[in-house]
Amino acid sequence: MHDCKNTASFTHQALVKGPLWMGADFDLVIRDGHIVTPKGVVEGDLAITGGRIAEIGSNFGHATREISAAGKYVMPGGVDVHAHIEQMSGMGLMNADTFETATRSAAMGGTTSVISFAAQAGGQRLSQTLCDYEARAKRGAMIDYAFHLTLTDLSVPSFEEDLANLVAAGHRSLKIFTTYNIQLRDPEVLKVLTLARRCGALVCVHAENDAIIARAKNALLAAGKTAPQDHATSRPRMAEIEAVERMCRFAEHLDQPIMLFHISTEEGAAAVQAAQRRGAPVWAETCPHYLLMTDEVLNQPGIEGAKFMCSPPQRSAVDQAALWHALDAGTLSLVSSDHAPYRFDASGKLSAGPNPRFDEIANGLPGLETRLPLLFDAMVSRGTQGPEAFCQITSTMPAQLYGLKNKGALSPGMDADVVLWDPDKTVTYGADDLHDNVGYNPWEGRTVKGWPEQVVLRGKTVMHKGEFFGVAGEGAWIDRPELATKPKGLTNE
């Protein structure tokens, strides 16, 4: 256990109170819901004791507190495994969100667990990096959390020792870049993959070819093409395709599991599928802005397109269809938010002035609060995938792949992280109606059907009908003693 860790404790309670029974059988019973479990949808009750799910069934005895879920889906709390919180960017900008504002926003959208980044600064020991981020999270987090260790400088003192100790202490995922000014070169990537195999960690990769991006960017700037809509052209699809294929081959060569972040192209998904068919230990994710936006969103009046800039950029309708197909086929295992919040002002997107070039604009958009409603609308309300598939890609698979062993599913013994969804409620997003610190909603004007009505974290209601009850610092660090995606052996080392 790392010596900076200190898991917060808190009192379990519920917002909706029933009669206080003498000798109650359970702390809380959620009654008469459509309960989405790993074995299918169960019509009945879910009982909670001591912050854990006790039973799922019907005709349970008395409970200290009760919640009616009639006409509602009862689903596991969302697990968002890709979020940038209270983090300095490669451009030297601090994210707009603190752990307090980010986790409040997450809970308002139905997410109860998040993995954010402990991003190493140049020259900084990994042990100090983690201490810094743990202090921020313990001060502000209102849902449960874990960290990816972002590795940017392998030359610091005691790098291998610190890495081994931190992974053994339960920080089981690493993050590397193949682009930006914090990229690792191929020999360093191979070194990280080799160390991860020894330690039992999953390596997450932002996979884009930096040389292809630099060439495209410089050509655009030389031609005077500097607007936000030129951002998409500056990061050609081939940059993703080449880097994804190369990382898949590295993983295959070393038999080391990797997670490829934010797949945006049809060819990228095909490369992942080809690697998986070869038996390579490769997993991949995508994000709502690749499933539901195209690069046309960058073509806004003036500089407004900056609000939607992210990397990789949004692509085409053909890519959208391919990504949905890859999710249905299991090639892509999950959907994360890649929450990267920057305000549309001088503190964020416009830090270089009111009319910046595309390469001077911070990349990223908020997503912790909108990920689940957008996907519920697309998959359950409008789509054919249904509630089981929705829970699988937003809760169950993220928890399983990253080793969050008590999260992501409604089963006896699991943490009582539960969301009641109203499948009939429709909401149209406004200009600034999220609960983060970003100041705008990139989904303004979009109507979704299906809405999180009540959110329960380990037996305690933290949101009910739009009212928030979480407390800063009550989120708990999630220990990950091992991963499901362990390497098969130590061959080819």
Q: What is the dihedral of CA 43, 329, 397, 490, to 10 degrees?
A: 150
282 touches 248 (CB < 8 A):
yes
The pLDDT, as a whole number, for residue 485 is 72
Q: Which helix (H) or strand (E) holds 447?
A: strand 447-457
> Is 397 within a domain?
no
Q: Quick check: 368 and 81 in contact, CB under 8 A?
A: no
DSSP 8-state class, residue 88: B
The predicted pLDDT at position 8 comes to: 30
Q: Is residue 408 part of a domain?
A: no
DSSP label of 368: T
- Pick the closest to residue 240 from 217, 214, 215, 267 (CA basis): 267
Q: Please say whether the beta carbons of 236 and 212 come within 8 A.
A: yes
Confidence at residue 135, expressed as pLDDT on a 0 to 100 scale = 97
Amino acid at 92: G
Is cis: bond before 373, omega within 30 of 0?
no
Residue 370 belongs to a domain: yes
Query: Does the residue 141 lie in any domain?
Result: yes
Q: Is 381 a member of any domain?
A: yes
pLDDT of 490 reads 43
All residue ranges of the chain with pLDDT < 70 are 1-23, 486-493
How many Å apart are CA 340 and CA 87, to the nearest integer?
9
Residue 206, classed as helix, strand or coil, is strand
Q: Which among 383, 265, 261, 251 has a CA at the least distance from the CA of 333?
A: 261
* Residues spanned by the domain of 220: 78-389
CATH number where 85 lies: 3.20.20.140
What separation in angstroms does the CA of 50 have from each of 11, 395, 412, 415, 458? 10, 22, 12, 9, 8
Is 168 part of a structural domain of the chain? yes
- Residue 491 within any structural domain of the chain: no
What is the structure's pLDDT at 12?
A: 30
Split into its structural domains, the chain has a count of 1
